[in-house]
Amino acid sequence: MPHPLGTQPSKIIAVHLNYRCRAKERGRAPDQPSYFLKPPSSLSGVGDVLVRPSGCELMSFEGEIALVIGRRAHRVAPEQGWSHVAWVTAANDAGAYDLRHADRGSNLRSKGADGFTPIGPRLLDATGLDPAALRLQTWVNGELVQDADTSTLLFPFGALIADLSRLVTLEPGDVILTGTPAGASVVSPGDTVEVEVSGPHQRVSSGRLRNTVVEAEHTLATWGAMPRADAALRADAWGPARAAEPALAADVAKALRGLSTATLSSQLRKRGLQHMTIDGVRPTQPGAKLVGTAHTLRYLPLREDLFAKFGNGMNAQKRAVEELRPGQVLVMDARRDPTSGTIGDILALRAQLRGAAGIVTDGGLRDSAAVAALNLPTYYAAEHPAVLGRRHVPWDTGTPIACGGALVQPGDILVGDADGVIVVPPDLVEELIVDSVEQELQEQFIAEQVAAGEPIEGLYPLGSAWQPTYQQWRSTHS
């Protein structure tokens, strides 16, 4: 389907980094924006396929907000920049990481292939939009993978236009791709990418830009640079939103559900790890078992001016919930301050529907009765009716945090029961399971002997005199 511009622009300019969440993913926050050009021949529209070049494995998507220039911009001031925008729409800054080496910096072949800039489907009149209150969402095969609003931009739209127009004249019809938020990653043939831009306050939407990835039917000619990839490039392409925080293997999860936190704590202590419990939290469902990998959310102390900037819209709290993947536990660092809620029933329900394994917060829980009624193990410090703005600013996600006095990294394993929650390092989990199973068998044997009237001396802990009896018992119980 033709793109909605009708005519080809003189140029397409793309911004490298412009969302704070994406800058955090990349580990760098630029002082000034930087850009690259995409050829007008890369434009396409809704329903057009994204052709992955033969020999490539790292086809990427990047949902973006596209600005279409309406009148000539030459040396304009930042406060005048937005007035030169006629239209706003959705875009996908697609690319093939495998070809990035060929034009390092310019991205010509990796980002400029025919069809690699789909935009549309509808053009929104910029005059009726607030450029600081637009929402960008991206779905892959129906799963929401990017969700951000323009209040979190490093460089507002007016500033981008002013910066570019110092040296480059922007002509009517030119397209500016304004950067992608966290969550951009790799797609494969058969995957469908959808991007939508909306103005929630104006209740307008670009509609969903929908494109499906296909494999090229022709072989890439061997004259010129060929695709190549290594472990570092794959990690860069997949990104932390898709590559980090791996799901827990089913057999490991099953084994952990059969073990108590008391036993795991004992085994961790034997290995010199004595600060692995999340202290001061209690469960909404004492009989439920929590097992999953950590996805982290950090709150900072309330500062009213920063809450206005970070606490509204699609803030870190809401992003953390939307980033959850099946089997993950949302773990919150609220600085052990229980005097304000850190999550309530609606976001807890959303977490459950996204397949979360549970929630842990060292802060307050709102709507506690409603959350307790969900089939979602939740641990919290206290009930409290107040919202975030009383004590906390939702700050960031996917970083190491302190929760209940324990350091929790994204991807750590959390196990919870009626006694509390414990953090298990993933690289120790297999040996912990083996030794914990043995410990619990010994304790079952000891409990049976005590119940039969035996004294505990030499029995608890299990002494050498009891070893033959235990081994015989174990042969029938393991």
Q: Which residues are annotated as a binding site for Mg(2+)?
A: 367
Q: How far apart are CA 307 and CA 314, in angstroms?
A: 12
Q: Are 220 and 58 in contact (CB under 8 A)?
A: no
Residues 399, 299: contact at Cβ < 8 Å? no
What whole-number distance in Å separates Cα of residue 408 and Cα of residue 332? Answer: 10
Question: What's the rounded Cα separation, in Å, for the pair 308 and 462?
Answer: 60
For 115, the token pair is 């069809």
CB 333 within 8 A of CB 299: yes
Among all chains, which residue has been given the structure tokens 């939407």?
205
**Beta pairing class for 382-383 and 175-177:** unpaired
**Consecutive H or E run containing 278:** strand 277-278
E strands, 366-410, where? Answer: 378-380, 382-383, 392-397, 401-403, 406-408
Q: What are the backbone angles phi and psi of residue 253, rounded to the nearest 5°?
A: -60, -40
Which among 66, 77, 59, 78 is positioned nearest to 38, based on CA atoms?
66
Q: Return the amino acid letter for 307.
A: F
In whole angstroms, give the CA distance from residue 140 to residue 210.
10
Residue 326 backbone class (left: φ over 0; alpha: ψ -120 to 50; beta: rest): beta
Burial class (CB in 10 A: 0-12, 13-18, 19+), 89: buried
Helices (H), 388-476: 429-451, 467-474
Name the packing angle between helices 250-257 and 429-451 (round to 10°).
Answer: 30
> Could you tell me which residues are annotated as the binding site for substrate?
344-347, 366
If DSSP codes are grouped into helix, strand and coil, which group holds residue 266? helix
SS3 string of 310-360? Answer: HCCCCCHHHHHHHHCCCCEEEEEECCCCCCCEEECHHHHHHHHHCCCCEEE
Residue stretches of the annotated binding site? 344-347, 366-367
Q: At CA 351, angle to CA 293 and CA 236, rounded to 5?
A: 55
Q: How many residues does the chain have?
A: 478
Query: What's the gap between Cα 66 and its chain centre?
Result: 23
3-state secondary structure of 434: helix
